[in-house]
Structure formats: structure tokens, C-alpha cells
């Protein structure tokens, strides 16, 4: 079994304790390798390296920094196939989704390199006899704590803009995808960033994440993950009042009106939920379907769900891969049990398979619940797995009330041929992103981020770049000479 190393201050190192942990293939439970089990002492080394590198890196011209990030994008394109294979073996993504993620990750890096060169300050014509302006400075040392559901893409989305704007970084990849993190560090090393500008530490979030969030020399924490973990990070970061950029949980409403294009709505509804086995913060968490459309929508949804192929993620025909870990599989199965106990009707899936090849790995067949009520646990909490919750509504006011009745506010979609109704819901639904007749359509130019308990700040687009800067007011007195 291969032993991997961490990347700190431009060097490949073991943990100071010498401890390691295994990374597991979620489809087969095969051990893929072992990585260093870092602790607070390793975090201190990585943060010190980033802290020492910051003055020099932040003084490099914007052109040079952007070119360095662009070079990383070129290297990612070279390794796209290997990155996709790692996402398949280490995360369990079906091949088609893994290839998409590898491609999109490189696109995000390329976009950050391009757009960072056009980020401008602002002149303020506010006072006589002065030149007054705002300039955007790097924040400092950034701790980037990334999730396991989209391991390549989330490192790229955070690291590229942070580096382009002159910050130095300590990246903590998800424990169960640590080999992907090591591969990313290899690409950073190949790109030739100066020592200490980018550092990677591997280990559990409970120890490493908390050590980074509470470290006095970390200036910004970028985090994607659960709302509960986000609250813990906020608490740890409060001791030194760090800047936080956080994308947290989602329980996203997918609202289907009686005049919606049924086939398009169902196709999108099934794909948006199941493309990554439900392990996506943007996936529809609850389907609100008008009572006149409910039976037809549900019947077609079940039919298309049952056409999905669950199996070896390396097979191009596979639609559904395993969940990422045994712990997460058990959590999702707990929600399925809760739905049954509360009276929802399970129409398909949900039972753990026992026959080969599914006797190894962490499998949950796609489950579809009908007759779900808005008050049920499965309708209110983020499941983060292949479980559909279909809820009936009778009026627009009813749909809007239920859509907004959540502590989360990441995204939502509305399906209707009436553009006036669509715009009305865009204005009234409380979410960071609202689509009309679409769900999960994004690109590198668009921004992403939620409201309420779904997060703070934005990622991607020009707005995501700006999160890794701080505004400095400059006032230069220019009195006329006597």
C-alpha cells in the first residue's frame, strides 16, 4: 500500500508524529493508500510557512500571480484523466461525473487567472484637495477546508482565487479524499509556486480544521461543508475575528406548477438529485408539486429513477455510484427509516443491497418518497444522499410559504410556463440562487453562495475573487502650494 506525504513549505513531509491513516475505495472497501495523520503541530508548521511567505507573494505583481495560477490550470489539463480516475476510485463518482468535475475544476482555475487581472479599485470623489480611493489588498493567510463530495472542484474553487489575489494558503483536503489532495499538491509543486505559498495538510477535520480555524496567524477561513461544522468553525475563529467564506448546507426547494413542462421538469429533477448519488449541496432537497400535476410527476419520476444504473463507477454506463463512506451510508439509511416511521410512502429503492458486487462498498439505491409532508424530518433536514421527497401543494401561497420555511437558503428552482409567476418567485424565494425552468445550471462566470444558515460570502465569478481581498481606503492630501 502506497504511503503518501504532505506538502509543507515546498517539501514533501510525513506528519511530525509519524502517524498515518488509510484511504478507502467506497465501491470496494479496498485500501488505496495511507496518508499522514497530521495534528496541531503540523498545522503550526504549515501556517508558519504560509505566514512567512505572505510578504513576498503579496508583493508580486498581479500579472505574475495570475500567470502562476494560469500555469496551474495548464497542468491540471495535462492531468485531467488522472484526476477523473482519482475521483472515481477515491470518491466513487461515476465516470461521466468525474470527467465533468475534472474539466470544470481546470476551468475554475483558468477563470480565476483571467479575471483576477481585471479586478479594479474605486476612486471616490468625496473630498476636495485629496485623492481618495479604495484598493483591494490580499487578506493574508487563508485556511481552505474542503468537502468530500466534490473534492477536486472545491480545492480549485477556493485555492485559485486566493492565490491570484496574493494570499498564501494552507489547504486541508477531506480525509476520505486525501489522495486527491496530495495530487493537487503535486500539481502546485509542478507549477513552481514559491515555498510556503501553498501548503497541504491531511487529517480529520475535528482536529486539523479546528486548529486552523483557531490559529492566530490565519486571517481567513474558506470552508464548504455542513451547517453544524460551519458553526463550530465560526466559534473557533471568533477568538481572532477572522474573515469567513462559507458554503454550508442546503435543503433546496424544487417547485413544479401545474403549467410546467412535465418531461423537462422530471428529467432535470432526477438528474439534479442523483448525478452524484445525492451528495451535492445544490441538489433538490424537497420537491413541491402542484396537486394537479402530482400523480403524473411522481409516476414519471419513479420510472426514470428506476432506469438509472447503479454499479462500478468505472463503467461508463453507471449512473449511481456508492456513498462516500460507511458512516455516511448509515446516516442516509437513518433518514430513510425516519421517513417510513413518519408515514411517507416509499415508492422505490432505499434497501441496502446484499448480493455481489454490492456486498462490498457503501451502496444506497435511489429512494423516492411520496406523500411526504412539510413537517417530516426528511422534508426539513439535509439528507445529502439519493433520497427524493415529493410534497403536494395546492396554491402559490402554500408553495412559497413552505419553500421559505427553512433555516437554510442555498438555492431553489421554479418550473412554470408563466414568466410572471417565475419572476414573482425569484423575488420572493429566500435563497442565494433561484432558477426558472432549470436547476443546478452554473459556470465559472456565475457566483455561488447561500443565505441564512447556508453560508457567508460567495464563490466563483468576480464576486468570489473579491472575497479573498480586503478593501483599504487611501486618502492623499493634495493642497495647492502657497
Report d(CA 119, CA 401) in Å as an integer. 39
Residue 369 to residues 308, 392, 478, Cα–Cα distance (Å)? 17, 12, 69
- Backbone torsions φ then ψ of 252, nearest 5 degrees: -90, 125
| Burial state string for 240-269 with b = 16 or more CB within 10 A and e = fewer than 16 | eebbbbbbbbbbbbbbbbeebeeeebbebb
In the Cβ-directed half-sphere of 284, how many Cα atoms lie within 13 Å?
31
Residue numbers annotated as active site? 247, 281
Report d(CA 411, CA 415) in Å as an integer. 14
Give the cell for residue 96: 461521466
Report d(CA 111, CA 157) in Å as an integer. 10
Report d(CA 163, CA 432) in Å as an integer. 25
Residue 249 to residues 194, 227, 283, 410, 457, Cα–Cα distance (Å)? 35, 5, 11, 7, 14
Burial environment of residue 394 by CB neighbours within 10 A (0 to 12, 13 to 18, 19 or more): exposed
DSSP 227-240: HHHHHHHHHHHGGG
Task: Name residue, grid cell 488522472.
Answer: 82
DSSP label at residue 3? B
Report d(CA 368, CA 75) in Å as an integer. 41
DSSP label at residue 242? -
Which residues touch 58 (CB under 8 Å, ≥6 apart)? 137, 138, 166, 167, 168
Please say whether the beta carbons of 194 and 83 come within 8 A: no
Amino acid at each position: 500500500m502506497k504511503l503518501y506525504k504532505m506538502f509543507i513549505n515546498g517539501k514533501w513531509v510525513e506528519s511530525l508524529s509519524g502517524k498515518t491513516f488509510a484511504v478507502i475505495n467506497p465501491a470496494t472497501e479496498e485500501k488505496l493508500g495511507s496518508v499522514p495523520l497530521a495534528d496541531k503541530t503540523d498545522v503550526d508548521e504549515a501556517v508558519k510557512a504560509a505566514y512567512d511567505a505572505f510578504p513576498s507573494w503579496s508583493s508580486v505583481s498581479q500579472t505574475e500571480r495570475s500567470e502562476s495560477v494560469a500555469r496551474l490550470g495548464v497542468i491540471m489539463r495535462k492531468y485531467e484523466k488522472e484526476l477523473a480516475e482519482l475521483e472515481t476510485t477515491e470518491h466513487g463518482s461515476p465516470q461521466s461525473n468525474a470527467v465533468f468535475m475534472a474539466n470544470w475544476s481546470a476551468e475554475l482555475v483558468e477563470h480565476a487567472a483571467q479575471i483576477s487581472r481585471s479586478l479594479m479599485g474605486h476612486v471616490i470623489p468625496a473630498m476636495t484637495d485629496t485623492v481618495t480611493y479604495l484598493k483591494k489588498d490580499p487578506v493574508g493567510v487563508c485556511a481552505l477546508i474542503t468537502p468530500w463530495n466534490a473534492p477536486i472542484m472545491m480545492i480549485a474553487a477556493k485555492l485559485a482565487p486566493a492565490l491570484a489575489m496574493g494570499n498564501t494558503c494552507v489547504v486541508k483536503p477531506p480525509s476520505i479524499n486525501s489522495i486527491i489532495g496530495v495530487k493537487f499538491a503535486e500539481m502546485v509543486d509542478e507549477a513552481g509556486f514559491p515555498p510556503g505559498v501553498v501548503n497541504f495538510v491531511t487529517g480529520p477535520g475535528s482536529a486539523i480544521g479546528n486548529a486552523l480555524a483557531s490559529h492566530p496567524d490565519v486571517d481567513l477561513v474558506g470552508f464548504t461543508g455542513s451547517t453544524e461544522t460551519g458553526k463550530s468553525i465560526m466559534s473557533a475563529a471568533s477568538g481572532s475575528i477572522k474573515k469567513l467564506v462559507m458554503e454550508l448546507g442546503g435543503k433546496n426547494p424544487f417547485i413544479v406548477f401545474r403549467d410546467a413542462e412535465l418531461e423537462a421538469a422530471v428529467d432535470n429533477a432526477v438528474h439534479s438529485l442523483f448525478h452524484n448519488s445525492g451528495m451535492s449541496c445544490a441538489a433538490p432537497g424537497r420537491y413541491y408539486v402542484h396537486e394537479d400535476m402530482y400523480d403524473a410527476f411522481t409516476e414519471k419520476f419513479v420510472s426514470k429513477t428506476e432506469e438509472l444504473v447503479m454499479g462500478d463507477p468505472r463503467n461508463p454506463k453507471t449512473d449511481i455510484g456508492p456513498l462516500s463512506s460507511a458512516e455516511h451510508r448509515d446516516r442516509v439509511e437513518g433518514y430513510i427509516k425516519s421517513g417510513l416511521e413518519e408515514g411517507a410512502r416509499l415508492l422505490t429503492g432505499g434497501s441496502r443491497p446484499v448480493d455481489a458486487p454490492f456486498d462490498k462498498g457503501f451502496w444506497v439505491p435511489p429512494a423516492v418518497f411520496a406523500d411526504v409532508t412539510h413537517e417530516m424530518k426528511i422534508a426539513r433536514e439535509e439528507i445529502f444522499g439519493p433520497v427524493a421527497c415529493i410534497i403536494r401543494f395546492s396554491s402559490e401561497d402554500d408553495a412559497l410559504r413552505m419553500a421559505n420555511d427553512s433555516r437554510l437558503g442555498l438555492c431553489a428552482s421554479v418550473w412554470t410556463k408563466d414568466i410572471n409567476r417565475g419572476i414573482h418567485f425569484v423575488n420572493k424565494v429566500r435563497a442565494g440562487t433561484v432558477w426558472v425552468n432549470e436547476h443546478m445550471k452554473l459556470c465559472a462566470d456565475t457566483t455561488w453562495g447561500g443565505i441564512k444558515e447556508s453560508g457567508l460570502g460567495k464563490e466563483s465569478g468576480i464576486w468570489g475573487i473579491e472575497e479573498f481581498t480586503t478593501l483599504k481606503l487611501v486618502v492623499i492630501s493634495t493642497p495647492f502650494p502657497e
